[in-house]
Amino acid sequence: MEKIYQIGNKSFVLDQTKAEAAYAAKRVINGRQTMTFNLLPLKYQWAYDLYRTMKANHWEPEDVPMNKDIEQWRHPDLLSDVERWIIMMGIGYFSAAEGIVGDNVIHVVRENVTAPELKLVLGRHAHEENIHADSLLYMISSLGINPHECEAMFEDVPTIVKKNEFVTRTSQNLRRDLDLTVTANKQLLAKNMFVFGQCMEGTQFYGLFGMVLSLYRQNKFPGIGQMFRYTLRDESNHIKLFRNLLMDLIEENPDVWTEDFREELTDLMRTAVDLEKEFIRDCLPVNAVGLSADEFIQYIDYIADRRLESVGLPPLTAGVKNPLPWLAEMMDIQKEQNFFEGRVTEYQKASSLQNSDDDDL
């Protein structure tokens, strides 16, 4: 089917069939190889919707006041050693982790997926990791923490080193020219999506999220707590993004989803949970006011099972209860009125104005 545009003495022929073939060749992997970026017609509607949600959540670290945090940090009596150590571990771990995630998004996942709307939302994901990395820089410089100490944390604290090695292992062989028509290679990529989305961002981030936000609930580190809330909200979208990518990849490539492979993923989650529990014990070697390591450890069991179920895998410790129900509310930032009168609200307003006429794309 062709359409001819006659403009003056020139004619242009547009071939609908060719365009439809291009659309039909959209795939998570092994789709049409092209440098062009035609989003429409969308095949992965969820990816575009998620991109818009993520964009509407935009925040800037400098908009969050740090004066209370600085006052508490400098005062010799306002904080216990454990509370200070949790912040050090939080900054030390996430400074490394945000970079690792961003690098993997750009150089492994975005590089290997082929549909433009998937590349679009992955670009936004990488940008959010940059915002998170920047927020840590802002925390470090506001509190006056020696940045060399921060670097040393992820070189020298064994439980941080182990967590980082666990995830970077799954991205090393995936960087270039991987033949994704081979089942074993597809499984490497699927494993990467699972480890980064469900084990790391989905589970291993949650020990510290819980601890820092527990402090925040006691009015300690209000600025840092605020940034962690925004980060947690972003992470929940990253977890969803990687979950959907994995599910669509499996649907399009059923050869990936073998019994052995499913067992391998479950085992990886088991390792991720063990590493996180060791890490929590390092963050909280003694109980502090309102903070018990056992509760955070139980929370990790609970959250890991939710991640496993979300991708159709059996839970590790079925029936475990959520010991921190307030953490979910902490994430629900939109519901609050006047809680932060900064750009976050304005961005959301601006983007909802644009929503009206292109909602049905």
User: Is residue 191 a contact point for Mn ion (CB under 5 A)?
Assistant: no
Give the C-alpha distances (Å, rounded to integers) separating 24 from 13, 33, 181.
Answer: 21, 13, 18
List the structure tokens of 356: 């009206």
Beta carbon of residue 232, minimum distance to Mn ion (angstroms, whole number): 10
Q: Residues with Cβ < 8 Å from 108, sequence gap 6 or more?
A: 171, 174, 175, 189, 192
Beta carbon of residue 58, minimum distance to Mn ion (angstroms, whole number): 14
x/- track of binding to Mn ion for residues 92-111 (CB under 5 A) = ---------x----------
**Residue 320 backbone dihedrals phi, psi, to 5 degrees:** -70, 135
Beta carbon of residue 128, minimum distance to Fe ion (angstroms, whole number): 6
Give the C-alpha distances (Å, rounded to integers) separating 50 from 101, 125, 240, 249, 287.
Answer: 18, 10, 9, 17, 39
299 tagged catalytic: no
- CB-nearer residue toward Fe ion: 27 or 132: 132
- CB-nearer residue toward Mn ion: 180 or 311: 311
Enumerate the β-bridge partners of residue 354: none
User: Using CB under 5 A, which of the segments 3-11, 238-246, 248-256, 336-344 binds Mn ion?
Assistant: 238-246
- CB-nearer residue toward Fe ion: 69 or 98: 98
Residue type, 313: L
Enumerate the β-bridge partners of residue 3: 14
Note whether 86 and 215 are within 8 A (CB). Answer: yes
Among 132, 163, 229, 233, binds Fe ion (CB under 5 A): 132
Beta carbon of residue 264, minimum distance to Fe ion (angstroms, whole number): 25
Q: What is the dihedral of CA 71, 77, 83, 87, to 10 degrees?
A: 30
User: Using CB under 5 A, which of the segments 48-56, 98-106, 243-251, 256-264 binds Fe ion?
Assistant: 98-106
Does the CA dihedral 353-357-358-360 come out positive or negative?
positive
Residue 317: CA count within 13 A, CB half-sphere: 15
- CB-nearer residue toward Mn ion: 235 or 248: 235
User: Using CB under 5 A, which of the segments 54-62, 179-187, 194-202, 279-287 binds Mn ion?
Assistant: 194-202
User: Using CB under 5 A, which of the segments 29-37, 67-75, 95-103, 317-325 binds Fe ion?
Assistant: 95-103
Among 238, 273, 297, 330, binds Mn ion (CB under 5 A): 238
- Region of residue 169 (left: phi > 0; alpha: psi -120 to 50; beta: else): alpha
User: Is residue 43 a contact point for Mn ion (CB under 5 A)?
Assistant: no
Catalytic residue among 44, 51, 93, 138: 138
- CB-nearer residue toward Fe ion: 132 or 186: 132
- The binding site for Mn ion (CB under 5 A) comprises 101, 201, 235, 238
Query: Which residues are near Fe ion by CB under 5 A?
Result: 98, 129, 132
Indicate which residues carry an active-site annotation.
138
